[in-house]
Amino acid sequence: MILYTPMQLELVLDGMDQYQASNQREISMGSSTLIVEDNGFGRGQVVRLISTEPQDYLNPNYAPGAEFKF
């Protein structure tokens, strides 16, 4: 991997040697994908929406921070 970035590499790659299991899950919602942080007990919070549809970003249920139930 060759990184081409003006950011300091120490900053970008910091923690690369320690593996951390992420509690974020990718959930597919029709044509869009939600990144949801799993807070346990079937509840979560939307972290990010990945979609090409601009209208999806106006949906309050998809907004970052919205509550999500699995």
Partner 1 sequence: MYYDNNQRFKNEQRRSPDYTPTVGPMPRPNPNTPPNPSTTPGQMPNPMTQPRTEPNKGKRVTGKPKGMIDSIKELGTPDVPETKSNIQCVTIIGQVEGHLSLPPQNKTTKYEHIIPQLVGLEQSNEVEGVLLILNTVGGDVEAGLAISEMVASMSKPTVSIVLGGGHSIGGPIAVSTDYSFIAETASMTIHPIRLNGLVVGVPQTYEYLDKMQDRVIGFVTQHSRIKEDKFRELMFRTGDLARDIGTVLIGDDAVKAGLIDEVGGLGKAVQKLRQMIDQNNNQRGVPLQ
CB of 22 to partner 1, least distance (A): 7
Task: Tell me whether residue 9 or residue 39 sits nearer to partner 1 (CB atom).
Answer: 9
Token pair in block for residue 69: 């139930």
CB of 58 to partner 1, least distance (A): 10
The contact set with partner 1 (CB under 8 A) reads 1-7, 9, 11-16, 20, 22, 29-33, 50, 52-55, 59, 61-62, 67-69
Which DSSP state fits 14?
T
Long-range contacts, 41-50 (Cβ 8 Å, 24+): 42/69, 42/70, 43/67, 43/68, 43/69, 43/70, 44/68, 44/69, 44/70
CB of 3 to partner 1, least distance (A): 6
